[in-house]
Amino acid sequence: MGNVALAGSLGFLGLGDILQLIGSSGGSGVLQIFSPYAHEPGSIYFSKGNIIHAHALSANGLDAVYALFGWLEGDFEFQERQMSVQKTITANRMEIILDGLRLIDDGETKILGPPTLEKTGSDPMAPPIIRRHFVDYTYVVDEEFYGAGDKVTQEKRHGNWIWVVLDGTLDIIKTTPKGPLTVTRVGPGAFIGSVTSFLFQENTRKATVEAITDAQLGILDSQRMAHEFAVLSNEMRSYILNLDRRLNQVTNACMEQFIQAGGGTIKALQDKRPIPARELQEKKLSKIQFGSACIVREIENGRLLLASLGPGDYIGEAPFLDIGHEPHQASVYASGSLKTSEVDLKPLCEEYEDLSLTLRNLIENVAVNISLTTNAAGNFLKRNRQKIR
């Protein structure tokens, strides 16, 4: 091990600046880039200020350096030591930096970040595939293989396992009176199951999961994750469980629109007033103490009821998550008796940053599902309105 000569956050110092600093100092050693979306760090090797080799996930040499320009979130650390790696890069440092920045600007370098979505065909009603980049294999206690057509879980049956997809594509399916509804589709790095999977002994599966290709799944260490959840603050635990409840409500809204039975929005809003978006943005995240509220998406002169909230539920957005709802993509209608308390976001954000990457990714997986399922419900509502016309 060498001496750590430089370390920090990629949010404060970009890779181009880091390469320039190390190069201008004539340093020899290894620069490691740590991203929450990569299962291993990327590395760039220096000899007397010159970049001589690099690797990042499946890339090596100059391709790896350019790929690391797309790692915009995370941390870096440069250790000074003598290098014995084989030299694979001969381009000069400034040429590499300028080319790396140009490739980012031209969109030729892939940005490593939150879940990416891949459309599954030309059908606008088909769900995109949820993929993630990060899998922490230290949480995987066993692996299972499922062939195309195999069911991993069955709706309404009991089960506490939670999986991470290592390979393959699977459908998350809900049973409706009109037939099966594929709510979302998941690929490598995405999760099957949620926080409630490891919190309650008698957990009932909320959906059927079916492999549409051969799939390799990793079973996560439920006991370890349950312990991590248990030591969180009451506020953080409450907020995470609230996300899970909201996903259940949004999924029900999607099912109602799928079977064309979503006619309860107007009735639910009869005794409620809209809260101005500016007020929601100023308060950030609030917790309901008394009264009720509805989360509504406005769609083509119509309204889609997404969730009905009561005491203990949250209104607004946390800076570390985007669920595609209020204040920017959904409205809030509140009862006259609504009373809320503003959440202190600083300790909540700090606690979120300290979560293990696996638990953080599981929470983000729920947030992405809320956003996608909301969009699916909106698409079904638009389709239903077009049929009426």
Say what the pLDDT of residue 8 is: 83
What's the whole-model pTM score?
Answer: 0.70
Say what the pLDDT of residue 376 is: 87
Say what the pLDDT of residue 82 is: 82
* CATH-assigned architecture of domain 232-389: Sandwich (2.60)
Domain locations along the chain: 3-105, 114-229, 232-389
Please provide residue 4's backbone torsions phi and psi, each rounded to the nearest 5 degrees.
-80, 110
Say what the pLDDT of residue 301 is: 66
Q: Please, what sign has the CA dihedral across residues 168, 174, 175, 180?
A: negative
d(CA 363, CA 360): 5
Say what the pLDDT of residue 124 is: 56
Q: Which of 319, 327, 324, 317 is nearest to 274 (CA)?
A: 327
Same-fold call for 114-229 versus 232-389: yes
Q: Which of 356, 310, 7, 367 is nearest to 190 (CA)?
A: 367
Torsion from C-alpha of 217, 222, 225, 226, nearest 10 degrees: 150
Say what the pLDDT of residue 213 is: 93
Say what the pLDDT of residue 240 is: 95
DSSP 110: P
Residue entry with tokens 């290894």: 30
Q: Write out the two tokens for 29.
A: 């050693």
Q: Is 114-229 in CATH node 2.60.120.10?
A: yes
d(CA 199, CA 202): 9
Q: Please, what sign has the CA dihedral across residues 132, 138, 139, 144?
A: positive
Say what the pLDDT of residue 116 is: 54
What string of pLDDT tens digits covers the 389 residues of the chain?
A: 557 788 888 877 889 889 988 987 888 999 999 887 777 889 999 998 899 999 998 899 999 999 999 998 888 999 988 878 889 999 888 889 988 988 987 888 888 866 555 555 555 566 666 766 567 788 999 999 999 999 999 998 887 789 999 989 999 999 999 899 999 889 888 899 888 877 765 578 889 999 999 999 999 998 899 999 999 999 999 999 999 999 999 999 999 988 886 566 667 788 889 988 788 777 789 999 999 999 999 887 678 999 999 999 999 989 888 888 998 889 999 998 999 999 999 999 999 988 888 898 889 889 888 988 998 888 888 877 766 55
Contact 133, 56 (CB under 8 A): no
